[in-house]
Structure 1
């Protein structure tokens, strides 16, 4: 082969490589949210989608596919073509916890997805209707003991933190709690505000709006520290209900075989968008704690969550 031919082939290969890179995310992107519209995950997706589109040079839309505690939308992304046209934005609860407690979910967070970047963390909130006589957790336990027929509460999806909270309260009250799953945190709030259920566990962002409107009362939050936007609300630990010292996070995911170059491109775009001052302010107002990661950081956070919930969901010996 002549030197000139070597040069021509090398130039052609470079053009092909450049062309492939240039086509990254040039097709429209659909971000699937596995919950009903209106919740924090949906709000976050709709905040970020147009800005990601501007950075990536394409159109980014949001589609809600609620059902089966997040399984429907999450499984749809697992089965999608790994070409960057279909992505998932979800909390680790839907990606990690649900398949551990629902073996028929048909997906595994680490085996079936590429984590594209963490966005933010959030706490879980236990709320009661504004009409409830319970002013705090101790008062709610007293209410359950006095009226065990009212020992029901709403949860956004099965398993994980929401049901751990129910178990913690059950032990203290000595009264079995009946959990009613809804299609996301936003769906829990109307029946809660109407007094159709005695309490509800939701993401703090969803509960905050109705709390500020005086329609519900937040009486405890998860995690090891009080929420900065709810400084007067104790953690479960502070209120004498240990075992809920855990929070959750939102992140983007792609089908497992997404090319690494596309994962790099998307993560860089995401981190660019999350530096925008308006985006940072709106995320803080949700309220979520902004906590972006690079790809390696996203993998570590997902692995930590998987390890925690693998152990937490093991049958007690």
Structure 2
């Protein structure tokens, strides 16, 4: 073998080893990245919550954590993506009640079954939905808005972040309670709904307090009523549905993190501990509280029980509304 050929073979071997090392690093990096699926567009309340947690979870998990927005169908696409993901602890789904508890009640075939396809990792907060008035709406509070709608013929449109969501049923109940002909206008998430509210395309909307809180502070819209039985710390002057005589919304929604069924217990435990540590950090808790969340840790088992109980309550409300699963 000539010296030139030996030199060529040696160089080729070194290049192959280098390429193999680079590929190995790339694979290791891909495997060490944790994705948090979010079923709504960037810019909405759920997306903001996910990004706060993702930033701090990186230190707790020891790897990169990214938010993956799979917006559409009220979180259905993200839920289906979680079902299809490998149960290796590197794909999570951060969701509130709608995607996990409500979609299975309002759709004949959502493409996932929470009880079979998901495993709850940890819950970290509860929140309430609210009625908000667009900046161009003359009414300054809920009663004035109701009176204004009646004076204008009793008809009004209210935006909702997703079809067949709890806000849609809230619109129906509010209309029945006050003798109004209210139409729920569904959007693909809270961000586009908020854009139309800020542009005064629609006069009012129903969504989560985290969706509305910043623009309420800025005076660009007005939160007029919150669901539940207790006033919110971030909105102490805003009356509750209970105060306004609107019943059936006492069970408040939750925020939780879910993993694909079959995820090893060791991975679930590591993730749960990470979530618990992150929400205990004072500045994280302050940020989430300022968004209108009531921060509190729930273990995977506790989150699972809450999800089932919440779904049972809403199954009765949806059935009573006459809504037929699509």
Does TM, normalized by the shorter one, top 0.5? Answer: yes
Unaligned runs of 5+ in 2: 1-27
Per the TM alignment, residue 26 of structure 1 is displaced from its structure 2 partner at its CA by: 6.3
Q: Which residue of 2 aligns with 1:273?
A: 278
Q: Secondary structure at the match of 1:51?
A: helix
Per the TM alignment, residue 177 of structure 1 is displaced from its structure 2 partner at its CA by: 1.6
Q: Which residue of 2 aligns with 1:109?
A: 114
Q: Secondary structure at the match of 1:157?
A: coil
- Within a 5 Å distance, the mapping from 1:105-254 to structure 2 comes to 105-148=110-153, 151-254=156-259
Q: Which residue of 2 aligns with 1:300?
A: 305
- Say whether 1:31 aligns with 2:33: no
Q: 1-side partners of 2:171 and 2:320: how far apart?
A: 17
Asked if structure 1 preserves the Cα contact closer than 8 Å seen for 2:135 and 2:197, the reply is no
Q: Which residue of 1 aligns with 2:19?
A: none
Q: Which residue of 2 aligns with 1:286?
A: 291
Asked if structure 2 preserves the Cα contact closer than 8 Å seen for 1:155 and 1:180, the reply is yes
Q: 1-side partners of 2:221 and 2:33: how far apart?
A: 40
Per the TM alignment, residue 150 of structure 1 is displaced from its structure 2 partner at its CA by: 5.2
Q: 1-side partners of 2:115 and 2:309: how far apart?
A: 11
RMSD over equivalenced CA pairs, Å: 2.0
Greater alpha carbon shift after TM alignment, 276-285 vs 119-128? 276-285
Q: TM-score, normalised by structure 1?
A: 0.87
Per the TM alignment, residue 148 of structure 1 is displaced from its structure 2 partner at its CA by: 4.4
- Within a 5 Å distance, the mapping from 1:22-61 to structure 2 comes to 27-61=32-66
Per the TM alignment, residue 229 of structure 1 is displaced from its structure 2 partner at its CA by: 1.5
For 1:199-230, what per-residue CA distance to the aligned partner results, in whole angstroms no more than 9, with x for missing partners? 10111122111111111111100011111111
Q: 2-side partners of 1:58 and 1:159: how far apart?
A: 37
Per the TM alignment, residue 186 of structure 1 is displaced from its structure 2 partner at its CA by: 2.5
The 1:79–1:148 alpha-carbon spacing in structure 2 relative to 1, beyond 3 Å, is: farther
Asked if structure 1 preserves the Cα contact closer than 8 Å seen for 2:74 and 2:98, the reply is no
For 1:41-77, what per-residue CA distance to the aligned partner results, in whole angstroms no more than 9, with x for missing partners? 1111111113212111111111111101111111111
In structure 2, which of residues 297, 316, 323 is the aligned counterpart of residue 311 of structure 1?
316
Per the TM alignment, residue 140 of structure 1 is displaced from its structure 2 partner at its CA by: 2.1
For 1:162-210, what per-residue CA distance to the aligned partner results, in whole angstroms no more than 9, with x for missing partners? 0222112211333332111112222211211222112101111221111
Q: 1-side partners of 2:212 and 2:116: how far apart?
A: 33
Per the TM alignment, residue 149 of structure 1 is displaced from its structure 2 partner at its CA by: 7.9
Q: Which residue of 2 aligns with 1:8?
A: none
For 1:80-107, what per-residue CA distance to the aligned partner results, in whole angstroms no more than 9, with x for missing partners? 1111221100101111102210223112
Asked if structure 1 preserves the Cα contact closer than 8 Å seen for 2:216 and 2:222, the reply is yes
For 1:227-283, what per-residue CA distance to the aligned partner results, in whole angstroms no more than 9, with x for missing partners? 111111101121122222232111100111112221112111111212212211211
Q: Secondary structure at the match of 1:301?
A: helix
Asked if structure 2 preserves the Cα contact closer than 8 Å seen for 1:78 and 1:255, the reply is yes
Per the TM alignment, residue 297 of structure 1 is displaced from its structure 2 partner at its CA by: 1.6
Q: Secondary structure at the match of 1:266?
A: helix
The structure 1 segments of at least 4 consecutive aligned residues displaced by more than 6 Å after TM superposition are none
Q: 2-side partners of 1:310 and 1:290: how far apart?
A: 26
Q: Which residue of 1 aligns with 2:84?
A: 79
Asked if structure 2 preserves the Cα contact closer than 8 Å seen for 1:150 and 1:197, the reply is no
Q: Which residue of 1 aligns with 2:71?
A: 66
